[in-house]
A and B are shown apart, each in its own frame.
Chain A
């Protein structure tokens, strides 16, 4: 208990986490004061839980707006205190932090949607969909950066995948072909990235940036030159329809969110699973991490550093190219100019936010997807917060993350450093 009062004996991480939760605590207090005891009279908030034909556990939940805010802010307060206590005892506080966050959000929703209807399941489903390209992109970044090549070209890879899959699906009327071509388009950008970074030792950050410009220029050009004038043949492709997984697709809430999705989303689950397993449990994963941390050591035990990096960058391109397909054949089927609109950079942010771990990156991508979707939902139901500020959330969150307020963020040690024998620069 003495530790608890004197933060002096805390490690830097503990101190930072404690501060984070103190901030959350203060926000909860504010929420309690402003919303819980706010002037909402007898307004009620309605949460909807059903979406499609899933089994119904609960249709709607109606709660007094003040009561809801009051209740959830109290929960958030308690959870924040619990988290601080756990941190002081050097225990894992992740669960308590999650409860604090969710409770804060629910309290906020109770207030923000006073007198209105919030389709909660639909909102979560929408969040997942918005997160799909972010997850693909961050997995691509992970593959590349864990082996030591910085990948800023995710945006370009996504865009190339989107373009190629849209056009091919449109020309052939086969979405499956589009799905096949998308990864190849991403890999083509990766081929440039790998060749210039590894063979010609061009600075990777600069290179990634230039490749993005190249892809944006090319797709914009071809869009105007071919896709607009010949829209019927070039840009009206088919798209995937949702496939409901038997049984689990019917589960209340979870079913429609996760198991009534298009093929691309199921591929995403598979890829995340495979990468998580492979990175930590296979020979390839061990070597990938070794090469990203200490390439000289890997070289000295007979691992071909640059070959492995080259291969990983190519695989990274396959993954983000596939993610690009989500924009076209994964949704409406048609391509539009610069339609990835920065998803590649948010994916990069998710990777960093998630501390270069698969699960961390996926969680961050989902969080960013949620923030994006929340903003949409709130503006549809007509809440008076300017949507622009909601849209800023992922970006502000990333700045906070890299500023170390959430925890120490450390990139793979050799990330971005060209490897050559007898001295790297």
Chain B
């Protein structure tokens, strides 16, 4: 048990230190961009206290907005105080799925920047099945999810096929396909099939109630069954990678494609299967997001789920469990950021800075080791993509 605790602490130390440094640096950014603080530059004492209180208030709002809100608890009872936490989980749900889509690709040696586009296709297909058909509840949900999964798997699979057949680098192809998907959803929302009756702005009809994911904690919370889907997907990815022959091949190709090929593993097959599966996961994210919380397809349905997915997977070290935790963390930052933006003068976007800094520090353990003078900081093998010729 002690050994286990040591190990857990060892593995958590680098992320924890990166986390602290990211918050400290972002604190400086918040303080030094605040007009109130800057006006006090003449009197050092006041300057420091005001700066500290500005940053403190911002981070407090960030926490209240993402985990527990005592004000809400005061007015609506203890449990309602956890409303922010439920919102965090709602935001984290699609992030877990898109994060897995990036993490799985990393395990096969692929850098999937395309979760955004894959998410969009999943959302479009799920939305269509959701509003166009009227079916019995469970069946309808299943079909809508399946439609999202399949269409996004096809979209992701294209990348795999291009890479396997022509060697086109997946980083470039997925970046480009994100843009194409972005324009595609703009276009499709203008078509008569998708445009909601009587509306001119790009929005599709709400999905039928029969295709909506059930709520888990009553009508006061938006928490929906999507989180269960996401956790199941995370378990599935873990099982696939560590316990199956297909996952063994994925990891083998990821670690050394040439040796895998020499031992009779088809690299092309692995590439195509991985990208299709990654598409499926991100597409499931899109479907769950539409069927669980948004109900209506809009041009901005994907928000930044696909891009945050990359930082999520990197923070989670491309491991399924790590990805779940990282998605919860970034989900919390996003959710709390909204509260922070409305309650204090600190814009939500500082969250992006925090995310980027955390990942940056985690990627450079040498630097963290140097700053904190820790000799034997435990690090795992660095994640790496392959250069353009790889």
Contact = CB atoms under 8 A, between A and B. Distances in A.
A342 B382 CA distance: 28
Given A202-B364, A217-B351, A402-B168, A415 B176 contact: no
B330 to A, nearest CB: 11
A217 B355 contact: yes
Interface residues of A, number: 56
Interface string A191-213: 00000100111111111011101
Contacts of B345: 225
Nearest to B38: A226
Interface string B182-219: 01101100100000000000000000000000000000
Contacts of B187: 386, 388-389
Interface residues of B, number: 55
Given A213-B355, A220-B352, A221-B349, A200 B366 contact: yes
Interface string B30-45: 0001110000000000
Interface stretch (A62-70, A97-105, A117-125, A392-400): A392-400
B179 A342 contact: yes
Contacts of A211: 356, 360
A416 interface: yes
A225 B314 contact: no
B29 A399 contact: no
Contacts of B190: 386
Contacts of B172: 348-349, 352, 398-399, 402
A206 B353 contact: no
B314 A206 contact: yes
B166 interface: yes
A258 interface: no
A281 to B, nearest CB: 25
B311 interface: yes
A218 B169 CA distance: 30
Q: Which of B311, B353, B383, B388 has the most CB of A within 10 A?
A: B388
B310 interface: yes
A171 B174 CA distance: 39
A225 B383 contact: no
Contacts of A223: 349
Given A205-B385, A214-B360, A402-B166, 7 more contacts: A203-B363, A203-B384, A392-B183, A392-B184, A395-B180, A399-B173, A399-B177
Interface of A: 145, 150, 152, 196, 199-207, 209-211, 213-214, 216-218, 220-226, 229-230, 342, 345, 348-349, 352, 386, 388-389, 391-392, 395-396, 398-399, 402-405, 410-411, 413-417, 425
14 contacts: A196-B367, A204-B387, A210-B314, A211-B356, A217-B349, A221-B29, A225-B345, A342-B179, A349-B175, A386-B187, A388-B186, A402-B169, A411-B389, A413-B389
